Amino acid sequence: MQNIIGHTRQQKALIKLIKLAKLPSALLFSGDSGIGKKSLAIKIAETLLCHNIHLDNIDQLSGCLECKSCLLIKAFNHPDLMILDYQREEGSAIEATKTLLSPLNYKPFLGERRIVILDNAEEINIQSANVLLKKLEEPGAGTYFILITQFPRRLIATMRSRAQQWSFAPLNRDETREVVHEIAQKEKLKENDIDSILPLLEGTPGNLVAYAHSLDLALSRVHDFDTTLEKIISGDSELLISFTQELGRDKENLVENWTLLIKLLHQKLRKDPINPSIAIALSELISSFRLHNSRNLAPSPLLLGALITLLPKLRGFSMKRVSFLQGL
């Protein structure tokens, strides 16, 4: 596994905690998808579980990459590294949680430590949380939990309070391109396709893996959204209403679509930095995204309230001034 690109400050802090044997037994990693949170969590596991390195003398988050432990992690087959993605879990979440945690009643299989990674932790329901809380409070020697989420405020408060919180920002442009280049080589993607899809990846290059096998569909969505925004900017109010309603109904892709809109407006603002309507719409779109995530409000009115500022006759409107549209 490659070294993690970006998040230098967090990596240095985590290395220091590991060297001093003061790493908390529960960590909560929050930030956008595709920025490397899960990869970093696996790197921590690789470091802690490696048989050949001395933790008090490390200078990076990495194992030796050659011992039995490192090779098992590379194959995603290490008995002391347990990963559960609550977004992809198709069966009973509580049963999956119980199955995952059952080995914690015994000693680690290959060494002295064990790592549990819980991805998309905002999806953990109350029943599963109750099972997890006891282990978070009394994890046992050598057991570490890493919870990963885009939406920390959605986590059950008692779970959030049991873990030390770490925030991660999107990568900068150079870091993004570096990660994209690595993934593109691995996935054997063409440079022209990568350049076209960069609007989807800005700051979140890890999402390229998700798009790699449906690149044409992803490129088509970028084009359709961009065309729609241009028509709204030209004054098509009916399209604005139907577009925001359609986005609100597509709950499965809501976060992805909302994020794409933000990134496309970012690009438009770079090309036209003195355009106030785009700047206001972008600011409102980001604020409404946070509002939806923290309070789980209906998305369509929030999207409409943000994008309405793009209309020529209504530029300058804020979300408060379109509150009458909440019923749409």
Total residue length of the chain: 328
- pLDDT by residue for the chain (328 residues), tens only, comes to 568 889 999 999 999 999 999 999 999 999 988 899 999 999 999 999 999 999 999 999 999 999 999 999 999 999 999 999 998 766 688 899 999 999 998 999 999 999 999 999 988 989 999 999 989 998 888 999 999 998 898 898 999 999 999 999 988 888 888 888 777 777 777 766 676 676 667 778 777 766 655 666 777 888 899 999 999 999 999 999 999 999 999 888 888 888 889 888 988 888 888 788 888 888 889 888 888 877 778 899 999 988 988 887 554 444 444 443 444 3
Query: What is the rounded CA–CA span in Å between residue 300 and residue 243?
Result: 9
Q: How far is CA 236 from CA 43, 246, 276, 307, in A?
A: 49, 16, 18, 12
Give the angle subtended at the CA of 320 by the CAs of 317 and 322, to the nearest 5°.
60
Query: What is the rounded CA–CA span in Å between residue 113 and residue 198?
Result: 39
pLDDT score of 119: 95
Question: Is the CB of residue 151 less than 8 Å from the CB of residue 165?
Answer: no
Give the angle subtended at the CA of 209 by the CAs of 206 and 211, to the nearest 5°.
110
Question: Is the CB of residue 84 less than 8 Å from the CB of residue 103?
Answer: no
Q: How far is CA 319 from CA 202, 228, 270, 285, 309, in A?
A: 26, 20, 23, 10, 9
pTM: 0.75
Domains and CATH numbers, the chain: 8-167 (3.40.50.300), 234-327 (no CATH)
Question: Is the CB of residue 63 less than 8 Å from the CB of residue 3?
Answer: no
Per-residue DSSP letters for 233-258?
HTT-HHHHHHHHHHHHH-GGGHHHHH
For 146, list phi and psi in degrees, rounded to 5.
Answer: -125, 110
What amino acid occupies position 39?
S
For 228, list phi and psi in degrees, rounded to 5.
Answer: -60, -45
Cβ neighbours for 61, distance < 8 A, ≥ 6 positions apart = 3, 4, 11, 14, 15, 40, 43, 44, 46, 47
Question: Is the CB of residue 78 less than 8 Å from the CB of residue 44?
Answer: no
Query: What is the rounded CA–CA span in Å between residue 72 and residue 188?
Result: 25
